[in-house]
Structure 1
């Protein structure tokens, strides 16, 4: 029997570990764009998932941003049915008209479609093909934005949204391994031109990373990914403390009590404010550090200033010792 290629083994082991806590008999979906990372993930999942006592389907999203996108989505679906994977879901999204830049808009539309596909098929989890390299790029982007610990934590290995687990099995797998796995398995990945389009921030970071690796050493990508893991562990503790603080600060009418907020350390107070703003319906892609700093000023640097405007035409005002929100 021929030895299993190390690249194929690495992806399969990663999938097996990610599924360790998924209940037996459950359906999981693999999100597949046709790129090397998601193709390698789908192929590995088709092998591993049934052996874990689970069922495996696939979902591919047509963003309608490039000519021939519908044909590519159908080609991915046709390939998936040969493995076999099932159910196979092809879904189309509208990216235009959303708040934020094109990258954020496409990402938001994609995740909405993935969650919807999971809920329609009864899947408990969606597997995403982000690799260690993607994680390193995300950390660099967060640093460039001046992000705090939550931003530096980058992409979590698991995130639960509306009862669906978004799992990233490949965060400890190098992009070179997914490309090698595709080559070994005879798969032909699609190369997304957006990945090399300098008008996108991530593409610019991706082009820069090899030069940084040459300058700082071959361990750079792994060290950036490890930094994300350490930041995530710290952020998890702070977020739990902030959740308790938010309950204490709630005024029972949708606002927040200033006296409770003022007694909190800044690291917790800003987390409470961030979570509160998100709870008001402000999207994460539209909510910036500038907004949170302005909200914090209503608490910690109060001098009678005017209301803070949040995305979505929301106005936050300090009145009678409370932060209250109204439609602007």
Structure 2
């Protein structure tokens, strides 16, 4: 198990003489417990467990208590941070909790001097993510599912266990007699991901035994294709400028315009247009042939507007266009 962790970190961080701390996001659930123990085996004395108490359910106090006792038993350093992860209007509880968790984990890792934060998502999580993306009609970024490495809030995050099924992790823990908790919300079928886990995944396993690595392969293909589209977007945006000039966009095919606009909105404003919003924007760009042509299209938390000969993104909060 420890070898899966070692394969993730770069050689510089894995050097035995390096004092670098390796942080593990530790919820006290089975997946993060297996990851924490594997990391401790690979880098003894250099692992810091990071536990985020979300304050969303009564059972969270028990999760924290087990995290404290488990880390004391195994001689692993532990940071605990209590947060409030209540969701805003029209924001899903899952999205709100995830945003707060990543922000908090990044801050805790920086305080610990960690070079990376390891996350316990596994092959089942990857398959669920892809099925969820398919159910929502996602594009390539969604179909690429979860990357094994990414950066957020100035911290590198890694998922070294994406190639391992959940059952393998639980079997390892149960055989060794290690304690972990089961989050009661994981069986709440009001959440889409839980319905996928409880109903759809068993059906796929019945029809297509061993389907998880195949879905992971499809996600990998989508991720590779998205890298190429991002490279093409950078080439096109280098010609149109940032923010993009309308006349420059009009020289591109509609498909390349769409690709460039998605990249611009994602990288400059952190938002994504729906298919309908993007189609409307492309129609407006095609019709924009006079100085007086006005563009103002709702996209995510703001509007894409025309500012002279270029597009701009203005947030609803009244901040300046991007």
When normalised by structure 2's length, the TM-score is 0.86
Q: 2:297 aligns with which of 308, 312, 322?
A: 308
| Structure 2 equivalent of residue 48 of structure 1 | 42
What displacement does 1:193 show? 1.7
Asked whether the equivalents of residues 48 and 112 of structure 2 are also in contact (C-alpha less than 8 Å), the reply is no
Per the TM alignment, residue 74 of structure 1 is displaced from its structure 2 partner at its CA by 3.5
Change (3 A) 1:69 1:300: farther
Give the 4+ runs in structure 1 shifted more than 6 A. Answer: none
Structure 1: distance between partners of 2:271 and 2:97 = 14
1:308 CA drift (Å):
1.2
Return the alpha-carbon distance in structure 1 between the equivalents of residues 240 and 309 of structure 2. 11
Deviation per residue, 1:167-226 (Å, 9 max, x gap) = 0000101111111111122112211122111111100110121112212x2121221111
Q: Which runs of 5+ in 1 are unaligned?
A: 1-10
**1:210: which partner in 2?**
202
For residues 175 and 142 of structure 1, what CA distance do their matches in structure 2 show?
Answer: 20
Cα offset, 1:97, TM superposition: 3.9
Distance 1:22 1:70, change over 3 A: farther
**Please, which moves more after superposition, 267-276 or 102-111?**
267-276
| 1:256 counterpart = 2:244 | yes
Against the structure 1 CA distance between its residues 270 and 49, is the aligned structure 2 distance closer, same or farther, given a 3 Å change threshold?
A: farther
SS state of the match for residue 58, structure 1? strand
Q: How is 1:61-100 mapped onto 2 (pairs within 5 angstroms)?
A: 61-86=52-77, 88-98=78-88, 100=91
Q: Which one of 206, 209, 225 corresponds to residue 216 of structure 2?
A: 225
Change (3 A) 1:145 1:301: farther
Report how far residue 150 of structure 1 moved: 1.3
TM-score, normalised by the number of residues in structure 1: 0.85
Three-state SS of the structure 2 residue aligned to 1:96 is coil
Q: Secondary structure at the match of 1:316?
A: strand
State the alpha-carbon separation in 1 of the partners of residues 171 and 288 from structure 2.
Answer: 57
**Distance in 2 between residues matched to 1:262 and 1:22, nearest whole Å:** 46
Q: Distance in 2 between matches of 1:267 and 1:189?
A: 49
Counterpart residue number, 1:164: 155
Q: What is the root-mean-square deviation of aligned Cα atoms in Å?
A: 2.4
- Candidates 249, 274, 283, aligned match of 2:262: 274
Contact 1:60 1:77 survives alignment (8 Å): no
Question: Deviation per CA, 1:93-115, whole angstroms, max 9, x where unpaired?
Answer: 22224362111111111111111
- Of residues 206, 225, 228, the one that matches 1:234 is 225
**SS of the residue aligned with 1:30?**
strand
1:39 maps to 33
Which moves more between the two structures, 235-244 or 297-306? 297-306
Tell me which residue corresponds to 2:305.
Answer: 317
Count, aligned residues = 307
DSSP 3-state at the match of 1:124: strand
* 1:122, distance to aligned residue in structure 2 (A): 1.6
CA contact (8 A) 1:12 1:44 kept: yes
- Mapped to 1, the partners of 2:156 and 2:3 lie a distance apart of 19
Alignment partners' CA distance in 1, 2:4 and 2:282: 41
Q: Which residue of 2 aligns with 1:110?
A: 101
Specify which of 183, 186, 196 is matched with residue 187 of structure 2: 196
Q: Which residue of 2 aligns with 1:16?
A: 6
State the 1:282 CA deviation. 4.4
Which structure has the higher relative contact order (CA within 8 Å, separation 6+)? 1
Measure the CA separation in 2 of the matches of 1:115 and 1:244.
32
1:4 counterpart residue number: none
For residue 319 of structure 2, what is the aligned residue in structure 1? Answer: none
Aligned to 1:119: 110
8 Å Cα contact 1:46/1:84 also seen in 2 = no
CA distance in 1, matches of 2:160, 2:287: 43
Residue range with higher mean Cα deviation, 275-284 or 70-79: 275-284
> Contact 2:103/2:153 (CA < 8 Å) preserved in 1?
no
Moved more, 258-267 or 295-304: 295-304
